[in-house]
């Protein structure tokens, strides 16, 4: 993340300012709060319900952008919520298609999970995720995005790595029985937490911290996850990829909704720009 000289310079500058450590501490607390709530939510709730809550992130992200950065909803509410509903339904169809027949819940099980489960703890999770990105864009806008994320990782690592190592040592869990899947998990986590996080922050900078617009495309995650699982399933016997009609329907609905959202957003932005240009004497 700090391969470029500008990133290294901004990282040193950011960490050299003591006033930034309080902000980095807040970001760490927000991120850890989201992770702990996610773990707690999964303890007694069906993953399908949790997936549905997480897939509502564009709505919460738009609210966070509006309240924190004063960025309005990127397009008119009918377009935004119409595309959000379509992409949400498509993402849920993809998630449902990958649930095995033996694990697929019926309506009674889903109702029982909704009434007595821990899914309520998952509601703040997408809020925490969106809030973290918006605060980085608001507080560290003068720094390179990669440097800002690297500084966030530095503070988090100083707390998490020693703590996790101590807990694993106390529980005698400092061993790995399946090195290949664990190695892939570590590699995927590093890539997602570094490269993906930086691109997310760059997208926020490019759109003026418009978190509602950027996170709308997060609804492609179930489709991309399934497609990535296909070649990995050839290497890992326990990793299954279900190719079904439901998967293709969900993929088509998500793609159509997000393509429509992109085109309508572009047309509305172009119309506003032209109107402003004509208004200039």
Model pLDDT, residue 234: 74
- pLDDT above 70 (res 104): no
End-to-end CA distance of the chain: 45
Q: Residue 63 and residue 121: Cα distance in Å, rounded? A: 19
Taking alpha carbons only, the member of 202, 127, 193, 199 closest to residue 156 is 193
Q: What is the dihedral of CA 27, 29, 34, 39, to 10 degrees?
A: 140
- pLDDT above 70 (res 248): yes
- For the segment 9-31, what is each residue's pLDDT rounded down to a tens digit? 888 988 888 888 899 999 999 98
Residue 5 CB neighbour total at 10 angstroms: 8
Model pLDDT, residue 106: 60
Please give the average per-residue pLDDT across 226-234, as a whole number.
75
Model pLDDT, residue 75: 79
Question: 193 and 153 in contact (C-beta within 8 Å)?
Answer: yes
Taking alpha carbons only, the member of 215, 190, 191, 196 closest to residue 204 is 215
- For the segment 123-143, what is each residue's pLDDT rounded down to a tens digit? 888 888 899 989 998 899 888
Q: Residue 6 and residue 2: Cα distance in Å, rounded? A: 8
Q: Residue 133 and residue 113: Cα distance in Å, rounded? A: 31
Question: 215 and 58 in contact (C-beta within 8 Å)?
Answer: yes
Question: 209 and 138 in contact (C-beta within 8 Å)?
Answer: yes
Q: Which residue has the higher pLDDT, 157 or 226?
A: 157
* Phi, psi at 241, each rounded to 5°: -125, 120
Domain boundaries, given as residue ranges, for the chain: 5-279
Model pLDDT, residue 114: 64
Model pLDDT, residue 176: 65
- pLDDT above 80 (res 105): no
Residue 277 CB neighbour total at 10 angstroms: 8
- For the segment 27-68, what is each residue's pLDDT rounded down to a tens digit? 999 988 998 998 888 887 777 777 888 888 888 888 888 888
Lowest mean per-residue pLDDT among 187-191, 253-257, 269-273 = 269-273
Q: Is 16 helix (H, G, I), strand (E, B) or coil?
A: coil
Q: Residue 173 is encoded by which pair of tokens?
A: 């869990």
Residue written as token pair 């990958």: 98
Q: In angstroms, what CA-CA distances link 60 with 67, 125, 197?
A: 11, 10, 18
Residue written as token pair 């319900």: 49
Model pLDDT, residue 270: 63
Residue 153 pLDDT class (50, 70, 90 cuts): confident
Model pLDDT, residue 158: 85
Please give the average per-residue pLDDT across 148-169, as a whole number.
85
């Amino acid at each position: 993340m700090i391969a470029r000289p500008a990133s290294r310079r901004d990282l040193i500058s950011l960490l050299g300012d003591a006033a930034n450590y309080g902000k980095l501490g807040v970001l760490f607390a927000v991120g850890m709060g989201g992770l702990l709530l996610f773990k707690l939510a999964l303890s007694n709730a069906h993953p399908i319900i949790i997936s549905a809550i997480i897939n509502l992130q564009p709505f919460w992200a738009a609210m966070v952008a509006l309240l924190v950065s004063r960025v309005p909803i990127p397009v008119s509410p009918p377009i935004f919520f119409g595309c959000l509903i379509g992409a949400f339904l498509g993402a849920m169809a993809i998630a449902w298609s990958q649930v095995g027949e033996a694990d697929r819940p019926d309506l009674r099980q889903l109702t029982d999970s909704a009434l007595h489960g821990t899914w309520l703890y998952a509601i703040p999770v997408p809020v925490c995720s969106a809030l973290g990105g918006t605060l980085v864009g608001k507080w560290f806008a003068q720094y390179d995005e990669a440097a800002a994320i690297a500084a966030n990782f530095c503070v988090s690592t100083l707390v998490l790595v020693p703590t996790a190592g101590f807990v694993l040592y106390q529980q005698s869990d400092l061993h790995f029985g399946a090195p290949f899947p664990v190695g892939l998990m570590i590699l995927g986590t590093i890539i997602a937490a570094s490269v993906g996080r930086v691109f997310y922050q760059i997208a926020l900078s490019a759109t003026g911290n418009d978190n509602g617009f950027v996170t709308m495309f997060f609804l492609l995650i179930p489709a991309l996850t399934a497609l990535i699982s296909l070649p990995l399933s050839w290497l890992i016997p326990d990793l299954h990829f279900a190719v079904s009609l439901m998967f293709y329907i969900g993929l088509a609905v998500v793609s159509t909704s997000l393509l429509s959202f992109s085109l309508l957003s572009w047309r509305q932005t172009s119309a506003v720009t032209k109107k402003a240009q004509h208004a200039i004497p």
